[in-house]
A = this chain, B = another copy of it.
Amino acid sequence: MSKAVDFYFDFSSHYGYFAAHLVGPMAARHDREVNWRPIMLGAAMKRSGNTPLTSQPLKADYVLRDWARMARLHGLPWRFPERFPVAALAPARGFYWMTDERPEQARAFALAAFAAYFGEGVDISDPEAAADVAADVGADRDGFLAAVADPRIKQRLKDETEAALARGVFGSPFLIVDDEPFWGCDRIDMAERWIETGGW
């Protein structure tokens, strides 16, 4: 049984953005590593029949209010991106290009990509924009752009998404802790309680 916290997310997910800032400190409090695992949420939504939150009447108004209040609560910049939702393939592929050999850089890139999209409204689904973010955290810009178009990296993202679906992942953020699934940003507290108590 892995002791790492598996953290599944999509770079186009508002709650994924907030969770990205909360999961690391939570895991660190319990000496756990975090496996960051970007996935293609669209594929999960196709499987589960879900639709983007902002396309659902009533719920759309609620989540807009909730995102703003989550941002205030956690002291994070937040704005509604001009383009939303986007298929955030470029940052997800770039992440997998980095993570095996440079996990620290990959993590820094993930946080920076989220901050660019939800903090500044930068369309990170554009490979050039994502490459700028990668360069900012010290990655090779041309290497990043090559990776985004690399069939092996494309396949890696597909494989990671399929593996996540096979484990029951259907949303973002989604944590798996000691084989126990926790869906949603507001379940990080329960995941922590699970770690603390060994489950119930």
Contacts and interface: CB of A to CB of B under 8 A. Distances in A.
Interface size class of A (residues with CB under 8 A): 20 to 34
A73 B183 CA distance: 17
A165 B200 CA distance: 36
Contact of A184 (B49, B168, B186, B190): B186
Interface stretch (A61-69, A83-91, A113-121): A61-69
A49 B59 CA distance: 10
**Most chain B CB atoms below 10 A, which of A51, A57, A66:** A57
Interface of A: 44, 47-51, 56-59, 61-62, 65-66, 69, 72-73, 165, 168-171, 181, 183-184, 186-187, 189-190, 200
26 contacts: A44-B58, A47-B58, A48-B56, A48-B57, A48-B58, A49-B51, A49-B56, A49-B57, A50-B59, A58-B165, A58-B168, A58-B169, A58-B170, A59-B170, A59-B183, A61-B168, A62-B168, A62-B170, A62-B181, A62-B183, A66-B183, A69-B200, A73-B200, A186-B187, A186-B190, A189-B189
